[in-house]
Chain A
Amino acid sequence: MKKHHPFAAALALALLGFACTAEARDEIRIVGSSTVFPFSTAVAEQFGKTGGFKTPVVESTGTGGGFKLFCAGAGEDTPDISNASRAIKASEVEACAQNGVTEITEVKIGYDGIVLANSKKHGQFALTVKQIWLALAKTVPVDGKLVPNPYQTWAGIDPSLPAEKIEVLGPPPTSGTRDAFVELVMDKGCEEFPEVAALEGDAKKETCQAIREDGAFIEAGENDNLIVQKLEANPKALGIFGYSFLEQNADKLQGSQMDGVAPTFETIADGSYEVSRPLFFYVKNAHVGVVPGVKEFVAEFMSEKAIGEEGYLADKGLIPMPDSERDEMISSAVALTPLSM
C-alpha cells in the first residue's frame, strides 16, 4: 500500500494545477520588440512598485512576433500591449482587424540610435553611409557594372580609412535592429550611386539591401552583449547595435562617426546623427477597462519622469522626443486616440 502514496499525491497536484486556471487575468500582458524590452520593463517595474496594480508581464518576442500575438484577437488570452521598433505595417493592421482588433492606439516613446562601434584599443572610424554600403553590400558598381563586392580592406574603399580587413559584426535578419540598419544606412548609401539609383523596383531593393555573405559581415546573433564582448577581443572589428549598449560600455567601446557626426545622446536627440529610428508601443483599446491598469500604465509610460529629458528611461538609453512632439504624443496617448486605418 505504501507505494501508492506518492502517485496519488502527484495526481492530486496535477489536477490542482488544472483546477485554478479559470480565474480572470489581473496583470497587463506586454509582448514585442527586444529593443523596446529594456524600456518597457523599466516602466513595468516602476508601475508595479508605485501603483495599486500588479507588475505587468513583459515578453520579448520581436516586433513581428509581437504583432502576431497582439492581433490574434481581443480577449483575456491575448496581450494588451505590443512593443515595436518600427511602425505597424498595413498588413498587420489588416490581420488585426480580421480578428476583431479594430481599435489600436499608436504611442511613440522616443528614439533609438544605431551605432557602428569598435574597441577603444583601435582608432576611431569616421565613415560615411556610402562607404558602409560599399563595405557591406553584396554587389557593388565597378566601372558602371554591378559585380560581387570586391572590397576586402577599408583602404580599398577609401584611402583615408585604415588598411585593414573589413570585419563587421551585426544582428541577423530576424532582428528589428537589422531592419532599421538596412533602411537607414544601406538604402541611403546605395542612392549615392547613379547606377543603383537608376534601377527600379525589386532589382533596386535587392541591390541596396542585400548584405554580403563572404565573411566580411558576420551575423552575431540577437544578443548585443555578445557583440560587445567579441569587439573587445577583436579590436579591428566593427559591431552594429543599439546606442544603449554603447552608452553602458563607453569605457571599452567607441562609436564611429557617421557622415562626420559621432553618436552621442545629444547628436541623436537633435537629429544630427541620422541613423536613429522611432520606437513605439501599441495598445488594444478593447482591453482598456477590462484588464485593470492599462490606462494607468500608458499614463506612467508617458509621464515626464519616464520619457522626459531627465526621466529614468533616458538613463536606460532611450533618446527622448523633442518637447513639442512629446506633448502631442502624450495627449493622444492618454486619450487613447485610435490609429486611423
Chain B
Amino acid sequence: MTDLAVRPMALRRPDLSATRLRRRYAAERRFRFYGILAVAVAAGMLGLLLGSILYKGYSAFYRTEIALPVNFDPAVIDPAGTRDPAVIAAADYAKIARDSLNARFPDVSSRADRRALSQLLAAGTDLRLRAIAMKNPAIIGTTATVELAASDDVDMLMKGRISRAVGEADRTLTDKQLAWMDELEADGLVAYSLNTTFFTAGDSREPEEAGVLGAFIGSILTMLVTLALAFPLAVATAVYLEEFAPKNRWTDLIEVNINNLAAVPSIVFGLLGLAIFLGFFGLPRSAPVVGGLVLALMTLPTIIIATRASLKAVPPSIREAAYGVGASSLQVVTHHVVPLALPGILTGTIIGMARALGETAPLLMIGMVAFIVDVPKGFTDAATVLPVQVYLWADSPERGFVEKTSGAIIVLLVTLILMNGIAVFLRRRFERRW
C-alpha cells in the first residue's frame, strides 16, 4: 500500500513558477502575432496586386471626348436627296469628321498638318457619325454638336499617361497636336465620359476602339457549355461512386484516376481537345463549344471530388431514417442526401468554374487565342475568352492597351466575384446544420 512512499521515484513535478507561466503566455502571444503577420503579408500582397490593377485600369472605363460642331453635309452624304438608307450608309463620313475639324482650325492648310489634325479623333469616328445619321436621317443638312471620342494617343495624353515634358521626337503626338488639344481644352470642348465602346465592342487593333464584349460573351458561352457538361456528369459520377458502387479494385482504380486527373496540367487537356475534338470529330477551331468541352474535362475531377466530400459529410442517420420510413435507395439519394449535400456540391462547382474561367493554356491549342473582332453569336462562332483578351492586349505595343489590359482584368475579377457571390448566396440558402 505504501509502495509509492517506499520507492521514491523521479517524479516530474509541473513547474508552476511565475517565470514559466510568463514564458507560456509569451509563446502564445508570439504564435498569434505570427498568424496575424501571415494574414497581413497575404492581405498586403493582394492589396498591392489589386491596387496596381485598379490604378492602371480605372482609366479604361472613361474616355476623352472632343465636342465638335459637325455639319452633316447633304452634298457628301446624300447628294441626290433620296434619303435611301443604302446611300446614307455608304457615304464618306471620314470626310465629314475631317471637315468639322478643319472648320475649327481653318488656318491649318498643309496636307501633312491636316492629316495630323485628323489623327486627334478616334479611328472609328466615321462609323460613329454614320450610326448617328442612320438612326436619325433628319439630322442630314443640319449642324449638330457631337461629342467625338479622341484617338488613343490624345486619350493617353489627357489622362496623363504620356508625358509632355519629353522632346517632340520621343512622343507619339507632335507639338502641333499638343497645341491643338490645348486650344480645344481652353475652349471647354474636351470632356470625359463613360467609355461605352469598352463594354459594347469586340477586339480591335486601335486601343480606343477595343472592347471586352466579344471576350465576355465568349467566356459566357464557353462557361455555359462547361457547366452543362461538367455539372451533371460530375454529380452523377460522384453520387454513383459514393452511394451505389461496390467497393472493389475497379472503383479504387477509378478513384485514384480521378484524383490524378485533378492534378494534370491544363495544357494536356488542350492537347487532348486538339487531337480528339478537332482532329477526330472535326469540330471547328476557335469555337466556344470546343473550349467548353475541353474545360469541362478539366473541371470534372474538381467537381467530382468536392461532391463526394460533401456527400460523405451527410450524416448516416439521415439515410437510415429515410430507409426506416420505407424510401428506396433512389429516393434516399434524390430526396435527402443530394439536397443536403447541395451547398458543398455548388461550392465545388463554382470553384471549378472559376478556375476554368481564368484558364488560357488549354485554349491555346484549340485556336481560341486569336484576334477576333466580331462578337460571337453562337456556340460555333469563332470566339475568345477574357483571360486570353488580357494576354493579347498585354502583348500589344500601343500604349493605350496598358490601361485596357488592366481594365479587362477588372472585368474578369468582377465576374469572378459575382460567381463567388452566387455560390455564397446558394450555400446560405440551402445550408442545413445538424
A→B interface (CB under 8 Å): 3, 6-7, 9-11, 13-14, 16-18, 20-21, 23, 25, 27, 29, 34, 37-38, 40-42, 44-45, 48-49, 54-55, 57-60, 77, 120, 222-225, 244-245, 247-251, 310, 316-317
Contacts and interface: CB of A to CB of B under 8 A. Distances in A.
5 contacts: A6-B232, A13-B225, A57-B370, A59-B369, A250-B170
A161 to B, nearest CB: 24
A21 B163 CA distance: 50
Given A10-B231, A40-B371, A224-B397, 13 more contacts: A3-B334, A11-B232, A21-B287, A38-B205, A44-B373, A45-B373, A57-B370, A57-B371, A59-B367, A60-B369, A247-B397, A249-B399, A251-B166
Interface string B319-360: 000000000000000100010000000000000000000000
A224 B232 CA distance: 43
Contacts of B370: 57-60
Contacts, number: 114
A17 B372 contact: no
Contact of A250 (B171, B229, B232, B278): B171
A38 B225 contact: no
Q: Is the interface of B mostly helix, strand, loop or mixed?
A: loop
Interface string B391-411: 010111111000000000000
B133 interface: no
B200 interface: no
A17 B379 contact: yes
A57 B372 contact: yes
Contacts of A44: 371, 373
Interface of B: 115, 127, 162-163, 166, 169-172, 204-206, 224-225, 227-229, 231-232, 278, 282-287, 289, 292, 334, 338, 367, 369-374, 378-380, 382, 392, 394-399
The 9 closest A-B pairs by CB, nearest first: A10-B228, A17-B289, A55-B373, A58-B371, A59-B370, A41-B371, A17-B379, A248-B397, A42-B205
B225 A317 contact: no
B396 A225 contact: yes
A6 B289 CA distance: 19
A251 B156 CA distance: 13
A55 B372 contact: yes
B379 A248 contact: no
A248 B283 contact: no
Contacts of A224: 395, 397
Contacts of B289: 17-18, 21
Contact of B171 (A3, A40, A57, A251): A251
A77 B278 CA distance: 9
Contacts of A29: 285
A223 B401 CA distance: 14
Contacts of A23: 380
A13 B283 contact: no
A20 B232 contact: no
